[in-house]
Amino acid sequence: MTTHQEKEERRQRREETAEQERKKRDAKKKVKQMIVISTGLAVVAVVAFLLSNASPAVPDRPIIGDHWHADYSIEICGEMQPIIPEFPGGIHTHGDGKMHIHPYVEEETGKQANLALFFSNAGMEISNSSIQMPGGAEITQCNGVPGKTSVTLNGNTLADYPSYAMQDGDVIAVKFS
């Protein structure tokens, strides 16, 4: 074999090797493209599935038609107070030591069915530093010391009690001391 033939053979092998490398790169590129396309289609399919099976928004409870009850007690300066007399409205009591929560109008539903509404409907005034029972005087002190209102929900302290929307079965204790 002549030098020229050897050179030609090496050149041909280089071209074949280069062609094989190009084919490998092209194949890898196609695999990557297929993975990207498949992943994109899978994401679109999952999103479409989730959107088609999404539940409609559930309204905040209680809603008109619910009929819930929550027990309550009120203690002022160490003395349990008599139960609040019956008063009307969707958020009311029958003078039985229970909050009756069955909204009649939209303004009494969801987050609006809260302790502030119950106290207001009952004719009570309550703040962090005072309490007034229906028809009673405002109380700001216990034994000459400024008092403080605390509220527990099922035995746990309830920090933002006025905005708490009562739930069926709650046990709410108001204490001013």
Provide the pLDDT for residue 177.
96
- Where in the sequence is the domain holding 9, given as residue range(s)? 1-54
pLDDT in tens, 84-140: 999 999 999 999 999 999 999 999 999 999 999 999 999 999 999 999 999 999 999
Provide the pLDDT for residue 54.
60
The reply to whether 59 falls in a domain is no
| Phi and psi at residue 30, to the nearest 5° | -65, -40
The reply to whether 63 falls in a domain is no
Based on the domain organization, do 21 and 95 belong to the same domain? no
pLDDT band (50, 70, 90) for residue 53:
low
Q: What is the mean pLDDT of residues 10-29?
A: 83
Total structural domains in the chain? Answer: 2
Provide the pLDDT for residue 59.
56
Of 137, 134, 136, 102, nearest to 120 (Cα)? 134
Based on the domain organization, do 113 and 167 belong to the same domain? yes
Side-chain half-sphere exposure of 102, counting CA atoms within 13 A = 10
Angle 129-131-132 (CA atoms, 0-180°, nearest 5)? 150
Provide the pLDDT for residue 15.
82
Based on the domain organization, do 23 and 110 belong to the same domain? no
Based on the domain organization, do 138 and 169 belong to the same domain? yes
First to last CA, the chain: 112
Average pLDDT score, the chain: 89
